[in-house]
Amino acid sequence: MSGALVNGDILVGFAGPPQGSATNEIDMLCENSMPMEWAFGNRVGSARAIRQLERATKVKGKPSMTEAYYSAVLDRPLDEVWSLIRDFNNYPAYIDGVSESEIEDDKRGDEVGAIRRFCYLGNWIRQRLVDHSDEQRTLTYAGLDALPYPQDDGSRTPAPTRYQGTMQLRPIIEGNRTLIEWAVVLETEPADADRWQALFESWIPDWTNSLARTLARPR
């Protein structure tokens, strides 16, 4: 995810993630930092995710929706990929820069309603699992707080966004491979929609590439 923090020529205000497993320095940052309302997301292609956020938008009188989407082919069987990502608490195993994660209130990592609190690049983030299906190989989660736009070049900062993400796996018969669709639904101010969309469209491929690197390691 080394490129996940750079959007064009705008440097988003966090250092690049460590290569391979998280370092002790990242662990120390997480232990000593105050929780920050900074998080990231997943799939937009889920109509259910879009409808849920649209309902929330209408109730609160908030702006309309925008979305970011990315898909890729993973050179591993469907069941192998799903076994890695199905546990909501397994982020440190496949996302570079996530040094630790815990599920609150002793819930299971596949239990709808579970809240994960994880440390990413020295920042604590909380997300709720809102949908999970072993049959469909999909999971959907939502940030518990509005996400502020990361520090940039000093120009006008977009208003915070609320987000909901979905990861969906589909089988590719040829070669016994897997299609992953990873997308994020964003609730934004109209003037900020393009910048938020571009930012997530730069992040999601890096998270997907991190997953692919994990799957390629010898076991």
Q: Which residues contact 160 (CB under 8 A, 6 or more apart)?
A: 37, 146, 147, 148, 149
Distance from C-alpha of 158 to C-alpha of 196, rounded to nearest angstrom:
8
- What mean pLDDT, rounded, does the chain reach? 79
Beta bridge partners of 94: none
pTM above 0.75, yes or no: no
Beta bridge partners of 115: 128
Read off the pLDDT of residues 130-154 as tens digits, 9 standing for 90 and up.
999 999 999 999 999 888 888 766 6
Q: What's the pLDDT score for residue 219?
A: 74
Q: Which residues contact 3 (CB under 8 A, 6 or more apart)?
A: 202, 206
Distance from C-alpha of 139 to C-alpha of 131, rounded to nearest angstrom:
5
Q: What's the pLDDT score for residue 27?
A: 53
Encoding tokens for residue 172? 């590719």
DSSP annotation string for 25-40: HHHHHHHHSPP-S---
The H or E element spanning position 11 is strand 10-11
- Check if the beta carbon of residue 62 is closer than 8 Å to that of residue 86: no
Residue 60 identity (one-letter amino acid): K
Task: Give me the residues of the chain with pLDDT under 50, please.
Answer: 1-23, 25-26, 33-52, 54-59
Encoding tokens for residue 85? 């990502």
C-alpha distances in Å from residue 36, one per residue of 8, 32, 90, 143? 24, 12, 20, 12
